[in-house]
Amino acid sequence: MPPNTTASTGQQPGKSGRKKGRKARLLLLVLVLGLIAGVTGGAYWSISTVRASFPQTDGSLTLAGLSGPVDVKRDGYGIPQVYASSDEDLFMAQGYVQAQDRFYEMDVRRHMTSGRLSEMFGQGQVDNDEFLRTLGWGRIAQQEYDKTLSASTKKYLQAYAKGVNAYLDGKEGKDISLEYAALGFTNDYKPEKWSPVDSIAWLKAMAWDLRGNMQDEIDRALMTSRLGPKEIADLYPQYPYSRNKAIVQAGRYDATTKTFGPAGSASTAGSSTGGTAGTGGTSSSSSAAGLQSQLAGLQNVLDDLPTAVGVNGNGIGSNSWVVAGKYTITGKPLLANDPHLSASLPSVWYQMGLHCREVSGKCQYDASGYTFAGMPGVVIGHNQNISWGMTNSGVDVTDLYLEKLSGDGYLSDGRTVPFKTREETIKVAGGTAKKIVVRETDNGPLLSDRSSELVKVGKKATVDTAAPDRGDGYGISLRWTALDPGTSMDAVFAMDRASNWSDFRKAATLFDVPSQNLVYADTEGHIGYTLPGKIPTRAKGYDGSVPAPGWDSGSRWTGYIDDDELPYEYDPSRGYIVTANQAVVDKAKYPYTLTTDWGYGTRSQRITDLIQSKIDDGGKISTDDMRQMQLDNSSEIAKLLVPQLLKIDIADQDVRDAQELLEGWDYTQDADSAAAAYFNSVWRNILKLAFGNKLPKELRVKGQCLWVDPVNTTGPADQTDKVRECGERDADQAQPDGGDRWFEVVRSLMDDPKSDWWTTPRSGTRPGATDRDGLFKRAMIDARWELTAKLGKDIDTWSWGRLHRLFLKNQTLGTEGPGFLQYVLNRGPWKLSGGEATVNATGWNAAGGYGVVWVPSMRMVVNLGDLDKSKWINLTGASGHAYNAHYTDQTDKWADGELLDWSFSKNSVDDRTSDTLVLKP
């Protein structure tokens, strides 16, 4: 971890400390610029070039369009608090200030959402742009602006855009960001003005990365080339409702009134129930085995897409919980939230306070929290009366459809229907523009048009007799709620204004995509939970777990669950509510299938246990207790496996030395723990030997090769019959990823020590296995020598943090630019505690390695008894400018689990203000 040069007090840095820090950064900057001058062969970047884009944070500026002065007060971490006297001035100033700190990030995001990355980065982004144009996020955002959003929301979006454009006015690229200066070496790209639609489209990108079970739908279909239905079911076990509690525990659905509430009885209405993984509703017209080549091609496209807020839909999680005042020190609720998203530099979140000097009809907002650069309002946080947090609900809002295509259209109920088409022109920096035709069916856009692999179907793939003739192959279309115009932008402003539970619930109904778990607390002492979202209902026999036959209109969505029928809880008697991507409601209490692929509740149950143990001990929960819960590093899978691992007789002394690390270990995955390093390596090798080596190549890590039996071979095969197959998936997307689905898979097999899953062949001098303990022994041997290679033979030098490291990378030039530019823009590594499916969810993919791939992207604890005693932290810092003092000035404290003071009242803000900028009309 980079060394801390100041004491970790959690307080704002003093001015003398800032001056010393600036001198050190200036010296480093001189050295880096000298390096750049040499590497680029004379292309010299001066210090003034790098610092030209740093924002003015004190004094005054004139902004045409303001109706009155606006104060922008920044604390020692550069976090802005904006004070205005009208709504329009408030949001115009928000646009200006965010553009000061993050415009390059905003510009990249809008090019991504509109499928225009090639305009900035050239030919290498054309394929991504083709796919994104096919999805049509920008078009849908424009339709939302034109047709569905309220007049007030449009007014705020216009004001925000006006502020961004006021910042851009008269500036060249190098005046805005170091990255534009770098782009200037290769093309003549110049930023264009911001529009209201640019802000709306970002919500589509957010919805894409939080889209639910589309990846599981693909994976289950791909598995059919090597696994049978029973084996696939083994890998998608039932949700453990009796062990890991659902979010909503007291409420029930009333079949008579068709409402969900705290009273009533369990309903038997409906044809399917939620919470069963991958066992229901398959297509009656096609075998999933017939999708191999199409879905493999789709996966290749998805792997290459840039991420917005997640890992392309994988590994997305979050923690949020609220505790009622009867169990807190303050006597008022405490609310915690830490969304788990891809690590990015700058952080996806932007901290900000939006304050009307006097809340009135003219100026309605007094809110503070986290938002996205490029979008007005506060997404997660609190106002003067309420607080709210979010976790991804994981409900299934995407379905893939097989389509029988012809030159004239697609088959639907026995007749050929013409495609809906549109032409798109993709401009390419330094290259020739490319035109594409986007085709759509009634089910949605044809994703298969964007990859030639998607229209090739295996010659030996089987389908049921009811399916139409395959011909040259089936296409694949996507039905997704976010491809319809919605009102989520209205919801952001409505939540920011809400003053009570009733207001909040009404606001939540507008939050149609992405569907999120919303937790709530207010200063009056109430707590609550609600599930909003546009959630589809499906015909009997279809549950969204596998692709459906597009040629049968009976496979299409039948409607959406009414708002009154969606689960919620208000002031439950247990005194707390926990959401961490587990099942929303027990399937026995609800008639609709929300998804077949919940998270399995490992984190949520651990948080519940921590809260309940504090209550049972008679203690009161403090803000710091909530922080400590966020940092819990306990490994639930270690608690299951370590007792069995310690029973295994190991002859090799070196391996036995490693095994002994587990004796007395408390299952805590601290960065300095040698036991955590060894256990996680054993876990990784168990998964590889038992499951990973038996999965098809489309799910395994790219470049990792195995000798395997040919597909569709019957009977035993000897070594000479085997073929060499190499994995095809990116390391952070491959399976088995080691998440809590795999916890449940292994748990369910522990009592079957002779299961075929526990078999593995001999490899060189490494023994094979025919049962559970034999495979565990082999995994312990493999782990010992893997860590010897990575960390050295001396186990006293081992630590989890040496394996489990976080690198922060600028998401454009920091990953694709020349090495010197990556050096300038990127930061790290940090050695982290925590792990997969741990409350401190520093996620890693067991198939790909130990590096950190997603993180608690921010942490907050809101104190409803005294909002000024709330705490927060961001992954990086307020600034997107490399070498700015606030580029990564929160990261060390974030890694150490610290939280910063979060001022809200004017007096508290004033006490911590370091710089004040006055924006004048």
C-alpha 496, offset from chain centre: 23
- The DSSP code sequence of 317-365 is EEEEEEE-GGGBSSSS-EEEEEEEEE--BS-S-EEEEEEESS-SSS---
Give the pLDDT confidence of 380-401 residue by residue, as tens digits.
Answer: 999 999 999 999 998 999 898 9
Task: Please state, rounded to an integer, the average pLDDT across all residues of the chain.
Answer: 88
Q: What is the pLDDT of residues 753-810, one digit of tens each?
A: 999 999 999 999 999 999 999 999 999 999 999 999 999 999 999 999 999 999 999 8
**What pLDDT score was predicted for residue 298?**
62
Amino acid, res. 912:
R
- Please state whether 681 falls in left (phi above 0), alpha (psi between -120 and 50) or beta: alpha
CA 779 to chain centre: 31
Confidence of residue 290 (pLDDT cuts 50, 70, 90): very low
**pLDDT (mean) for 417-446:** 95
First and final CA of the chain: distance in angstroms? Answer: 46
Q: Give the tens place of pLDDT for each residue, 339-358.
A: 998 899 999 999 999 999 99
What pLDDT is stored for residue 693 in this prediction? Answer: 96
pLDDT at 895: 98
H-helix or E-strand spanning residue 434 = strand 434-441
Q: 709-747, pLDDT tens digit by residue?
A: 887 554 444 555 789 999 998 898 899 999 999 999 999
Strand ranges in 446-552 using DSSP code E only, listed in sequence order: 474-480, 516-522, 527-530, 536-538, 548-549
pLDDT of residue 819: 82
Going from the C-alpha of 744 to that of each of 240, 741, 821, the distances in angstroms are 8, 5, 43
Other CB atoms within a 10 A radius of the CB of residue 362 amount to: 13
Instruction: Determine the distance from the C-alpha atom of residue 663 to the mean position of all C-alpha atoms in its chain, rounded to a whole number.
Output: 35
**How many residues are there in the chain?**
921
pLDDT score, position 49: 66
Q: Return phi, psi of residue 101, to 5°.
A: -90, -30
Enumerate residues 6+ apart whose C-beta is below 8 A from 28: 883
pLDDT at position 871 = 98
| H helix intervals, 236-321 | 292-304
Mean pLDDT of 82-91: 98
Token readout for 70 is 């606006």
In the predicted model, is pLDDT for residue 451 greater than 70? no
Pick from 19, 74, 15, 12: nearest CA to 918: 74
pLDDT tens digit sequence for 21-47 = 444 444 444 444 444 444 444 444 566
- C-alpha to C-alpha distance for 561 and 548, rounded to whole angstroms: 20
Determine the Cα–Cα distance for residues 793 and 797; give it in Å rounded to an integer: 8
| DSSP state for residue 573 in the 8-state scheme | T
Do 232 and 278 contact (CB within 8 A), yes or no?
A: yes
Task: Give the least confident one: 561-570, 575-584, 821-830.
Answer: 821-830
| Residue 398 DSSP class | E
Residue bearing the bigger pLDDT, 470 or 145: 145
How far is the C-alpha of 488 from the C-alpha of 206, rounded, in Å? Answer: 11
Distance separating alpha carbons of residues 428 and 47, to the nearest angstrom? 31
Residue with tokens 């390419």: 428
pLDDT at 412 (0 to 100): 96
Handedness of CA 206, 211, 212, 215 (dihedral sign): negative
Per-residue pLDDT reduced to its tens digit, 191-206? 999 999 999 998 888 8
Q: Does pLDDT of 335 surpass 60?
A: yes
pLDDT band at 252 (very low <50, low <70, confident <90, very high): confident
Q: What's the pLDDT score for residue 195?
A: 98
Q: DSSP string of 791-831?
A: H-S-GGG--HHHHSEEEE-BSSHHHHS-HHHHHHH-EEEEE
- pLDDT of the residue at 306: 66
Report the C-alpha gap between 392 and 517 in whole angstroms. Answer: 6
- Over 90: is that where the pLDDT of 681 sits? yes
Q: Could you tell me the CA-to-CA distances from 854 to 146, 249, 582 in Å, in that order?
A: 36, 29, 18
